[in-house]
Amino acid sequence: MTQSPKDLTHLLSAEAKSRKNSPLKECFVYFGQPGLTFLGGGLPLADYFPYNKISAEIPTPGFEGGIGAPITEANKTEIEVYRLKENNGPNQIELARSLQYGYTEGHKEIVDFLKEHTKMIHKPVYDEWDLICTVGNTEAWDSTLRTFTSRGDTIFVEEYTFSSALETVNALGVHTFPVPIDEHGLIPEKFATILETWEGPIPRLLYTIPTGQNPTGSSASLERRKAIYELACKYDFLIVEDEPYYFLQMEKYTTDLEARKARHVHSHEEFIKALVPSYISIDAEGRVLRLDSFSKVIAPGSRFGWIVGQKKLLERFLRLHEVSIQCPSGFSQSLLNGLLQSWGQTGYLDWLIGLRAEYTHKRDVAIDSIHKYFPQEVVTYDPPVAGMFFTVSIDTTKHPKFATDHNSDPAKVEEAIFQQAIKQGCLMIPGSYFKVTPPPDHKLTVVDAGSANQIFFRGTYAAVPLDALQVGLENFGKALRVEFGLN
């Protein structure tokens, strides 16, 4: 591996290009020089940090009772991080450092751990890749937009996508153009048609949630990813893969209860092999930015994520972060790093394998319930293989009042079902909430993937215990029966 990524700095925004290094920061080359008293920076003394030590109780790998098992004396590990380096075990981020003004890219110990993890899982193709820390993918996405787009630009997104990500885009005055998806993610042939007939400059980036897509629950196959990547190379745009759900990949759904028992992964190698390869793992040119996060695998409130991509582009994020977020919380860095160093790479894989088992089970219960309680005459669904979400598609023309009360308007049927379901005791999100509208003046016909009279609802099996999940889905099933006048 001596391959270099392409120089893609022409894709940077005016804002990103204009960010300068300050002469003040350049003074820091003298910091720590022997014989020099550095009176340059307004840093408080670590003696004034009122934390001498922080510690945490965490579960011990390999998590035999499952990752949600209560932490007891038998499976408990205590981690401790002291203010001073000399009181700590190896590879800790002492509080004197984590609670001081910090390295914008994140402290070396946790960055090194995540780089090692990234090598193991994604095996980046080119050499000069880098990894910088963020305060989560929401912020990383906002920073990405500021780094590559300007007001008035257009970007490509999946035709249904995470509404919060869309709000980030819209408020920046950037337009979104929808690319058709199906249950296997973005459809390369339809995307190719859009690109071939595009008028004006091609958008500089595609935003995609390739694995366990929000809201559709779809996951892109390797073949699809390769085809989309080829389009990115041909038309010179970046792929931003937002991958919070990557490790919530599950076993395939089956109704065969015996087969369910047999299908768990048995080793770290088997686990890694079972993961669908990421965009970054096929990225020879350095045009993929991978947004990764602990939110779905450790805890959302850690507000800690990271970006993987080519060094030259990530350097522009650092200049932005220096004058915005600065760096993730030092408490987060010390305690997350403490956990990771205690678990090691293999312990962390044990945890991820445990997550896979949990989500597989929750997904199974959800799909079993849909199968049991939903009127199969009007719904269709594909059991997801990753993420937190499932969707149920509904043919609105089968609604008895479709042509009458609802004026043949699927949106009205959607609203009626939404309200009926709340009445019956279950809330799922109407698919239209995630629909991407193209820029008002676009000259291109939007290629529509689905039938216009199909609607869908997004549900999750992540947020509630299994019994509540079953009750909720039974209630949603009732609502559908009431609306569609079934039994």
Task: Scan residues 283-322 and list those touching a copy of itself (CB under 8 A).
Answer: 295-296, 298-304, 319-320, 322
**Residue 98, C-beta contacts closer than 8 angstroms, at least 6 positions apart:** 81, 107, 330, 331, 333, 334
Q: Which of 4, 7, 64, 71 binds a copy of itself (CB under 8 A)?
A: 71
Q: Which of 191, 247, 317, 351 binds a copy of itself (CB under 8 A)?
A: 351
- Is the peptide bond preceding residue 215 cis, with omega within 30 degrees of 0? yes
Smallest gap, in angstroms, from Cβ of residue 461 to a copy of itself?
8
Measured from the CB atom, is 125 or 357 closer to a copy of itself?
357
212 phi, psi to nearest 5 deg:
65, 50
Gap between the Cα atoms of 141 and 205, Å rounded: 12
Question: Is residue 404 within the footprint of a copy of itself (CB under 8 A)?
Answer: no
User: Look-up: residue for tokens 């001498």?
Assistant: 52
Binding characters for a copy of itself, 138-167, by CB under 8 A (x = yes): xx--x--------x-----------xxx-x
Smallest gap, in angstroms, from Cβ of residue 117 to a copy of itself?
16
Nearest by Cα to 206 from 171, 163, 241, 258: 241
Structure tokens given for 259:
């087969």
Residue 77 CA, chain-centre distance (Å), reads 29
- Is the peptide bond preceding residue 62 cis, with omega within 30 degrees of 0? yes
Smallest gap, in angstroms, from Cβ of residue 465 to a copy of itself?
7
Residue 85 CA, chain-centre distance (Å), reads 34
Q: Which of 88, 332, 360, 393 binds a copy of itself (CB under 8 A)?
A: 332
- One-letter amino acid at 465 equals P
Question: Is residue 324 within the footprint of a copy of itself (CB under 8 A)?
Answer: yes
Cα Rg, the chain, nearest whole Å:
24
Measured from the CB atom, is 135 or 308 closer to a copy of itself?
135
Question: Is residue 55 within the footprint of a copy of itself (CB under 8 A)?
Answer: yes
Smallest gap, in angstroms, from Cβ of residue 164 to a copy of itself?
6
Q: Which of 3, 4, 64, 68 binds a copy of itself (CB under 8 A)?
A: 68
The helix-helix angle for 108-122 and 330-373 (nearest 10°) equals 40
Nearest by Cα to 392 from 358, 359, 421: 421
Gap between the Cα atoms of 6 and 287, Å rounded: 8
Contact region with a copy of itself (CB under 8 A), list: 177-185, 192-200, 271-279, 456-464: 456-464
Q: Which of 43, 274, 403, 486 binds a copy of itself (CB under 8 A)?
A: 43
Tell me the pairing of strands 53-59 and 175-179.
unpaired
Measured from the CB atom, is 203 or 330 closer to a copy of itself?
330
Q: Which of 1, 35, 199, 201 binds a copy of itself (CB under 8 A)?
A: 35
Smallest gap, in angstroms, from Cβ of residue 150 to a copy of itself?
9
Residues of this chain, 106-125, that bind a copy of itself according to CB under 8 A: none
Binding characters for a copy of itself, 238-277, by CB under 8 A (x = yes): ----------------------------------------
Contact region with a copy of itself (CB under 8 A), list: 170-178, 183-191, 261-269, 394-402: 170-178
**Cα dist from 321 to 27, 130, 131, 223, whole Å:** 19, 16, 14, 35
Nearest by Cα to 315 from 57, 65, 478, 143: 143
Q: Which of 148, 207, 279, 389 binds a copy of itself (CB under 8 A)?
A: 389
Question: Is residue 44 within the footprint of a copy of itself (CB under 8 A)?
Answer: yes
Smallest gap, in angstroms, from Cβ of residue 330 to a copy of itself?
3
Q: Which of 1, 2, 10, 47 binds a copy of itself (CB under 8 A)?
A: 47
Residue 316 CA, chain-centre distance (Å), reads 21
Question: Is residue 346 within the footprint of a copy of itself (CB under 8 A)?
Answer: no
Question: Is residue 99 within the footprint of a copy of itself (CB under 8 A)?
Answer: yes
Question: Is residue 168 within the footprint of a copy of itself (CB under 8 A)?
Answer: yes
Tell me the pairing of strands 454-460 and 205-208.
unpaired
By the 8 A CB rule, do 264 and 251 touch?
A: yes
Q: Which of 314, 386, 436, 469 binds a copy of itself (CB under 8 A)?
A: 469
Q: How many residues bind a copy of itself (CB under 8 A)?
A: 114
Question: Is residue 416 within the footprint of a copy of itself (CB under 8 A)?
Answer: no
Q: Strand (E) positions, 345-388?
A: 379-380
Q: Which of 15, 112, 315, 382 binds a copy of itself (CB under 8 A)?
A: 15
Q: Which of 339, 352, 386, 417 binds a copy of itself (CB under 8 A)?
A: 339
Tell me the pairing of strands 129-134 and 305-310.
antiparallel
User: Look-up: residue for tokens 């609607």?
Assistant: 455
Residues of this chain, 191-230, that bind a copy of itself according to CB under 8 A: 214
The 10 Å Cβ neighbour count of residue 346 is: 11
Smallest gap, in angstroms, from Cβ of residue 96 to a copy of itself?
10
| DSSP 3-state of 382 | coil
